[in-house]
Amino acid sequence: MALPARVPVVVIGGGPAGLLLARLLQLAGVESVILERQTREHVLGRIRAGVLEWGTVETLRTAEVGERMDREGFVHDGVGLSFRGRHLRIDFKGLTGKSIMVYGQTQVTKDLYAALDDAGVTVVAEAADVLPHDVDTDAPYVTFATDGTVHRIDCAYVAGCDGFHGVSRTVIPTSIARTYERLYPFGWLGILSETPPVDTELIYCHSEPGFALCSMRHAMLSRYYVQCDLEDEIEAWPDERFWDELRPRLPHDAADRLVTGPSIEKSITPLRSFVAEPLRHGRLLLAGDAGHVVPPTGAKGLNLAVSDVHYLAGALLDALTTGSTTGLDEYSERALARVWKAVRFSWWMTTLLHRFPESGEFGYRIQEAELDYLAGSEAAQHALAENYVGLPF
C-alpha cells in the first residue's frame, strides 16, 4: 500500500467515530488516512449496541451511508419499562415527535467501510505502535509500523478516535488532562441468539433478581442482557442458566413469549462512566470513546461518538478551508456540554433500574417509588423520552 507523506488529517482508530469523520471529510474533498490497530475482521466482529438516536440517523444519511440502514433497520416509536409486574410504555413519538432506529453498530461500521473503500480513502489495518507527535505545534505528525516498517505521516490535525484504551488520550499532558470516573459494582452478561424477540420494542426490566434488557437486531436475531457479578466468568454461564435467570426478570407476558435457543455470542461487559477533559490539545482532537465512556443503559455510546464527529468535522473543515479556528477552539466545550448530559442520563437510567448491593431494600423501594412516579407523570416520561431519542446536536 502506497502511503501519502502528508494529509490534512490523520485519523487514529477505525471504529465508527474515525470512519464517520473520514467519510464526512472525504465528501467535502478533504483527504485523510485512517490508522487502525486491529484487523478489519476483528473490528467487524465486535458485537456492539444498535440503538440510534434520530440525530445519528440523520447524520448517517448526510454521510450518504444510510441506504441499507433505512432498508433494514427498525424504527421504534417507544420503549418499555417493566417493574412490579407492570409494563410502562414510553411513547417517544407522541411525547417528542421523534423515534429511534434499531440498527447494529457492526452494520453501521460495515456501511462506512464500504463507502470509504469506494471513495479510495486509505485505511491502514494492523497499524502498530501508533503515536502522535508535536501536536502542540503547527507541524504534528504520526508514526506507526506495518509489516515491521516504521512510517511517518505529516498532517495539519490528528483525530484521536481510538477508544478508551487507545494512545491518543495519553498524549495530553497530565498537567492539563482531567478525568472523571464512576465504576459500577456489576456487569452485563449479554447473549445473541437466533430467536424471535419477545416484543416489537426494547424492554428494560427492573426486578428483585436484578436488571434485564430485551433487545433485537432483526426478526430472527435477539439480544438479551442480565445484570451479573463483575467476578463472574463466561464459563459459569451456560445457556440454560442464562435463560433461567432472564425469564423471572421479565414481565409475565414477555416471559410467556420468550423463545430460547443456543447463543451465538456471549460476553460480560463491565459498566463505567468516564469523561476526559479537554477533548482538544493543540492539534489533537479526541472523539468518541477516546474521550468518554457511558454505561450501555442509556444507549448513548455510539450516539455520543456521532455527535462528537458532527461538531469535529465541521470545525476541521472550517479550519482547513477558510483558516478559521473558531470551531476548533469551541469544539471541546461544545462536545462536552452534550457529553455530560448523556453521562447524567446514562447514570440515572443505570441507577434507576439495577440492583445495587450496597443500597439494600431501602434503595430498592426508592427505585420502585421513582418508577411508579414515572408511570403517573407525563412530564417525567417526556424527560426520559427527550433524552433517549437524543438531545439536539
Within 8 A by CB and 6+ apart from 158, the residues are: 9, 10, 12, 132, 135, 140, 142, 168, 283, 284, 285
Question: Smallest Cα–Cα separation from 388: which of 21, 56, 17?
Answer: 56
98 part of the active site: no
204 part of the active site: yes
Contact 226, 266 (CB under 8 A): no
Catalytic residue among 151, 281, 292, 300: 300
Peptide bond before residue 278 is cis, with ω within 30 degrees of 0? yes
Q: Which residues pair with 6 in a beta bridge?
A: 154
Exposure pattern of 257-291 as b/e (b: 16+ CB <10 Å)? ebebeebeebebeebebbbbbbbbbbbbbbbbbbb
One-letter amino acid for residue 161 of the chain? C
Catalytic residue among 103, 113, 224, 388: 388
Integer Cα distance of 257 and 188 in angstroms: 22
173 part of the active site: no
3-state SS assignment for residue 197 = coil
Question: Smallest Cα–Cα separation from 56: which of 13, 114, 9, 17?
Answer: 17
Catalytic residue among 204, 224, 225, 331: 204
Within 8 A by CB and 6+ apart from 162, the residues are: 12, 13, 15, 18, 37, 130, 168, 290
Report helix, strand and coil shares of the chain as percent, to nearest 5: 40, 30, 30
3-state SS assignment for residue 64 = coil
Contact 146, 124 (CB under 8 A): yes
296 part of the active site: yes
Catalytic residue among 16, 197, 251, 296: 296
Question: Smallest Cα–Cα separation from 382: which of 20, 95, 80?
Answer: 95
3-state SS assignment for residue 301 = helix
Q: What is the 3-state secondary structure (H, E, C) of 21-39?
A: HHHHHHHCCCCEEEECCCC
Contact 59, 52 (CB under 8 A): no
Longest dimension (CA), the chain: 64
252 part of the active site: no
Integer Cα distance of 335 and 275 in angstroms: 11
**Residue numbers annotated as active site:** 76, 204, 296, 300, 388
